[in-house]
């Protein structure tokens, strides 16, 4: 009894907490150094309840997916008069949005309080009387240490670490950094933001007695697929950086611990490190693929060529759901992941649930569709054959559905041939549960990357996607695809055929239309 009581008590408590969480508040959240997996759980919780997100330019765009779709997301770059000092505008914006009663997340690179001016933002909020919380993040130095396998402290080599900004010119009389003291610092030195001033910082350190042969390393974009590093000594580092063409954001680590670094760290051994892979499928289906690519070291870039929306009219779906409730169907056939998702969401929105399916048999096209069905705790009765296309499904099904009452759950653009074939052998109803809107966002910066040939591989997973993607490509991009400067990876022959129509002959095709199969092709192609 007392357990029940406790549970009830907890539940009401939670409800209270949730309603409170929507009160005006600003969360200053550290987004980590670049790898989206390094966001803290607390940071994710804050994003999930955000109404407004103001994010730094360096923050991984992938983190924004945790915020509700309805939340406004703004990059600090977009703030008016952003130059030369945009911080007053950041403060004003945070206060303005919070005063509208919103839950505001200020998403900052690395840790908010390490060279991030988070302290100033917090002070402004305090002065304005706005409640706030500070959520720490993994600062760039710590990520660099982990992803390069350099222990910043070490029992016999370094008992202290100093984080220093190289932002200030050492020669400046007003400089707040005493480089003489830094040169004498008995531990590892990490310099943030010092990239362009190394040519004056390093001589200053050496002048004040730092050993020129001290191991040193510079790393740019640590923890991302674009991580690059160059190892040298203090005396040779500046030249080495220039030679390697490192770009910002980058930091420098100086100290004997740098000598402990393996030739290639666990991270640098990832087989797809540095590869930029374009994902063109709908955003809702990109996540798993993107995550897998990321774990292999690649940088996934999202440019959806198709958007999944509600159908213009739910009439066919609603009528079908009425019939389903009366147990009028022998079979329901799902042709896509979206179909499953949208169908059950609609069922729920109508106040119904899985029991309406009763003993109705279920068939699916594609193993991904089967997996999606399983997330609703439903096991398909007909599991797709190897080729995973509708023809194969029909072979498996033909006898079983002959003369039966069948519901086909599909998109507005669903394949006519399948409908006709089914209609010829059974009593067919069709439920249209979503529509696909084709088209690539023409303003996307990714199109410029394609123009410049700065993408390694474009993945295309359906004829519609291929058509919509190719329609957005200008002649420069098409030329690069034709010459094989940007690789095309298609997941099935119908998609490849569409690509070939545009004169692109160099196409890699995966044996199966699955993420794993496509990744297998990339591993063969790129593995180092
Ligand atoms: N608050 C941030 C630092 C902001 S200052 C943090 O805690 O990490 C910006 C500087 O951080 C850059 O100039 C660069 O020196 C460093 N930096 C940020 N992200 C980095 C990354 N992924 N790799 C290397 N340096 C990085």
pLDDT at 387 over 70: no
85, 108, 138 — which closes off a domain? 138
Q: Please give the DSSP secondary-structure letter assigned to residue 37.
A: G
Q: Determine the Cα–Cα distance for residues 246 and 284; give it in Å rounded to an integer.
A: 34
Residues 493 and 348 in one domain: no
Question: Is residue 269 assigned to a domain?
Answer: no
The percent of residues above 90 in pLDDT, for the chain, comes to: 74
Pocket perturbation via mutation, ligand 1, pick of 87, 143, 249 by most ligand atoms within 8 A of CB: 249
Average pLDDT over residues 67-78: 91
Residues 126 and 215 in one domain: no
Say which CATH number the domain at 8 has: 3.40.1010.10
Residues 236 and 155 in one domain: yes
Give the pairing type, strands 188-192 and 250-254.
Answer: antiparallel
List pocket residues of ligand 1, CB cut-off 6 Å.
Answer: 33-34, 58, 109-111, 114-116, 139-140, 144, 192-193, 219-223, 248-251
Question: Is residue 507 assigned to a domain?
Answer: yes
Look at the chain and report how many structural domains it folds into.
4
Using 50, 70 and 90 to split pLDDT, how confident is the model at 421? confident
How many angstroms is it from 463 CA to the middle of ligand 1? 41
pLDDT at 382 over 90: no
Q: What pLDDT does residue 482 have?
A: 96
Which of 82-91, 116-125, 219-228, 456-465 is the least confident region? 82-91
Question: Is residue 485 assigned to a domain?
Answer: yes
Q: Determine the Cα–Cα distance for residues 219 and 191; give it in Å rounded to an integer.
A: 11
Q: Determine the Cα–Cα distance for residues 412 and 465; give it in Å rounded to an integer.
A: 15
Residues 377 and 402 in one domain: yes
Pocket perturbation via mutation, ligand 1, pick of 140, 146, 265 by most ligand atoms within 8 A of CB: 140
Say which CATH number the domain at 176 has: 3.30.950.10
Comparing CA positions, the residue from 161, 170, 103, 157 lying closest to residue 131 is 103
pLDDT at 196 over 70: yes
Atom of ligand 1 nearest to the CA of 111: 7
Residues 67 and 94 in one domain: yes
pLDDT by residue (tens digit) across 2-49? 444 443 334 434 433 444 445 799 999 999 999 999 999 999 999 999
Residues 74 and 196 in one domain: no
Residues 296 and 222 in one domain: no
Q: What pLDDT does residue 18 have?
A: 42
Question: Is residue 208 assigned to a domain?
Answer: yes
How many angstroms is it from 218 CA to the middle of ligand 1? 12
Question: Is residue 132 assigned to a domain?
Answer: yes
pLDDT by residue (tens digit) across 444-455? 889 999 999 999
Residues 28 and 75 in one domain: yes
pLDDT by residue (tens digit) across 493-527? 999 999 999 999 999 999 988 899 999 999 999 97
Atom of ligand 1 nearest to the CA of 194: 15
Q: Determine the Cα–Cα distance for residues 206 and 213; give it in Å rounded to an integer.
A: 10
Residues 321 and 425 in one domain: yes
Residues 67 and 44 in one domain: yes
Q: Whose CA is closest to atom 6 on ligand 1?
A: 110
Average pLDDT over residues 283-293: 89
Q: What pLDDT does residue 19 have?
A: 42
Query: DSSP per residue over 174-190, as a string?
Result: T----HHHHHT-SSEEE
86, 113, 138 — which closes off a domain? 138
Q: How far from the centroid of its chain's Cα atoms is residue 86's Cα?
A: 27
* Burial of 339 per CB tally in 10 Å (0-12, 13-18, 19+): buried
How many angstroms is it from 245 CA to the middle of ligand 1? 18
How many angstroms is it from 29 CA to the middle of ligand 1? 15
Residues 403 and 356 in one domain: yes
* Residue 159 domain boundaries: 141-260
Supply the mean pLDDT for the chain: 90
In three-state secondary structure terms, 499 is helix
Average pLDDT over residues 341-355: 96
Comparing CA positions, the residue from 401, 429, 329, 334 lying closest to residue 374 is 334
Residues 186 and 290 in one domain: no
Pocket perturbation via mutation, ligand 1, pick of 251, 252, 268 by most ligand atoms within 8 A of CB: 251
78, 103, 138 — which closes off a domain? 138
Question: Is residue 271 assigned to a domain?
Answer: no
Using 50, 70 and 90 to split pLDDT, how confident is the model at 194? confident
Say which CATH number the domain at 389 has: 3.40.50.10090
Q: What pLDDT does residue 8 have?
A: 39
Using 50, 70 and 90 to split pLDDT, how confident is the model at 283? confident
Instruction: Give the C-alpha distances (Å, rounded to integers) separating 241 from 42, 228, 230, 258.
Output: 37, 10, 6, 16
Question: Is residue 266 assigned to a domain?
Answer: no
Question: Is residue 361 assigned to a domain?
Answer: yes
How many angstroms is it from 435 CA to the middle of ligand 1? 42
Atom of ligand 1 nearest to the CA of 223: 22
How many angstroms is it from 388 CA to the middle of ligand 1? 46
Atom of ligand 1 nearest to the CA of 166: 15
pLDDT at 233 over 60: yes
Average pLDDT over residues 317-327: 94
| 191 Cβ contact list (under 8 Å, min separation 6) | 164, 165, 166, 198, 201, 251, 252, 254
């Amino acid at each position: 009894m007392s357990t029940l009581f406790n549970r009830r008590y907890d539940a009401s408590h939670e409800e209270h907490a949730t309603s409170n969480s929507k009160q005006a508040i600003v969360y200053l959240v550290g987004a980590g150094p670049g790898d989206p997996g390094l966001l803290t759980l607390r940071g994710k919780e804050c994003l999930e309840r955000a109404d407004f997100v103001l994010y730094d330019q360096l923050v991984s765009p992938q983190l924004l997916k945790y915020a509700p779709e309805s939340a406004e997301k703004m990059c600090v770059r977009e703030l008016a008069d952003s130059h030369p000092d945009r911080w007053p505008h950041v403060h004003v914006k945070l206060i303005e949005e919070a005063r509208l009663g919103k839950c505001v997340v200020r998403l900052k690179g690395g840790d908010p309080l390490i060279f991030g001016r988070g302290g100033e933002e917090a002070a402004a909020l305090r002065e304005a009387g706005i409640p706030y919380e500070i959520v720490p993040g993994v600062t760039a130095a710590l990520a660099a240490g982990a992803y390069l396998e350099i222990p910043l402290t070490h029992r016999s080599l370094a008992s202290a670490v100093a984080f220093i900004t190289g932002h200030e010119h050492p020669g400046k009389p007003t400089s707040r950094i005493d480089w003489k003291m830094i040169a004498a610092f008995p531990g590892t030195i990490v310099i943030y933001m010092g990239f362009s001033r190394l040519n004056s910082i390093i001589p200053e350190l050496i002048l004040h007695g730092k050993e020129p042969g001290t191991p040193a390393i510079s790393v740019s974009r640590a923890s991302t697929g674009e991580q690059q590093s160059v190892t040298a000594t203090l005396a040779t580092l500046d030249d080495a950086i220039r030679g390697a063409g490192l770009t910002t954001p980058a930091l420098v680590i100086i100290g004997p611990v740098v000598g402990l670094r393996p030739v290639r760290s666990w991270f640098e051994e990832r087989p797809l490190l540095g590869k930029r892979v374009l994902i063109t499928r709908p955003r809702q289906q990109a996540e798993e693929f993107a995550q897998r690519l990321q774990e292999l070291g690649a940088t996934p870039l999202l440019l959806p060529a198709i958007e999944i929306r509600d159908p213009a009219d739910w009439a066919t779906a609603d009528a079908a759901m009425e019939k389903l409730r009366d147990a009028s169907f022998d079979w329901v056939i799902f042709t896509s992941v979206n179909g499953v998702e949208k169908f059950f969401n609609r069922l729920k929105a109508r106040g119904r649930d899985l029991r309406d399916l009763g003993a109705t048999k279920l068939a699916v096209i594609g193993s991904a569709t089967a997996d999606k069905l399983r997330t609703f705790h439903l096991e398909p009765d007909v599991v797709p054959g190897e080729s995973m296309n509708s023809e194969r499904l029909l072979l498996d099904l033909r006898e079983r559905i002959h003369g039966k009452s069948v519901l086909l759950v599909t998109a507005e653009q669903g394949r006519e041939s399948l409908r006709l074939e089914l209609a010829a052998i059974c009593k067919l109803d069709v439920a249209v549960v979503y529509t696909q809107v084709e088209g690539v966002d023409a303003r996307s910066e990714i199109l410029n990357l394609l123009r410049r040939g700065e993408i390694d591989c474009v993945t295309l997973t359906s004829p519609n996607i291929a058509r919509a993607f190719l329609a957005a490509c200008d002649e420069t991009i098409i030329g690069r695809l034709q010459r094989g400067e940007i690789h095309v990876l298609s997941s099935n022959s119908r998609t490849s055929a569409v690509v070939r129509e545009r004169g692109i002959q160099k196409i890699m095709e995966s044996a199966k239309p699955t993420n794993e199969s496509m990744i297998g092709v990339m591993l063969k192609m790129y593995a180092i």
